[in-house]
Amino acid sequence: MSALIITTNYGVEQDELKKPIEALRGAGVDFTLAASEEGPVQSLVSDKDPGETFEPDVVLADAEMGDHAVLVIPGGTINADNLRMDESAVALVRSFAADGRTIASICHGPWLLAEADVARGKMATSYPSLTTDLRNAGAEWDDVELQRCEKEGWTLLTSRNPSDLDVFAPAVVEAAR
């Protein structure tokens, strides 16, 4: 199987993209990185300092669910806020949930779950500032390093912030296998 990672071209939190990619590569699991536009993805560290750049494999509008077992949504405030306004990203989230596949999202990434209206009935965690948004979208929010929820016919993996990557990245790998 494989993973589909979606992001905008600016503002993704560096480690929330880098660590899952490294974990997938290390486990020999294929992945596709889809970005909003052609050109490099400029990550940020703590939403402000320039981080590493990453080369996407495909433009988000051309990304397909295909045989990907898991959809990965990294955070970063700017990234997540723009990603939730991208119709292609919203459609992919809805498709993965409707098909019973896993979605893994960290930090501010769960904003996209609320936008796609797939959070209802799920247990989730996120960066604390999203608590009200997720609750208003029908999720039950909890402050844990990794929330795994299999309700509503599909699996949701969520984590709070980069300090949770040691449990989030292996969960992504497990879901992609």
Could you count the other beta carbons within 10 Å of the beta carbon of residue 45? 14
Distance between the two ends of the chain, CA-based, in angstroms? Answer: 5
Which residues have C-beta within 8 Å of that of residue 169, sequence separation ≥ 6?
Answer: 19, 20, 22, 23
Q: Is 149 a catalytic residue?
A: no
Report how far residue 170's alpha carbon sits from residue 177's, in angstroms, rounded to the nearest whole number. Answer: 11
The strand ranges marked E within 39-155 are 41-45, 49-54, 58-59, 68-73, 102-106, 123-124, 140-141, 147-149
Q: Which of 69, 107, 137, 139 is catalytic?
A: 107
Report how far residue 101's alpha carbon sits from residue 79's, in angstroms, rounded to the nearest whole number. Answer: 23
- Residues labelled as active-site residues: 107
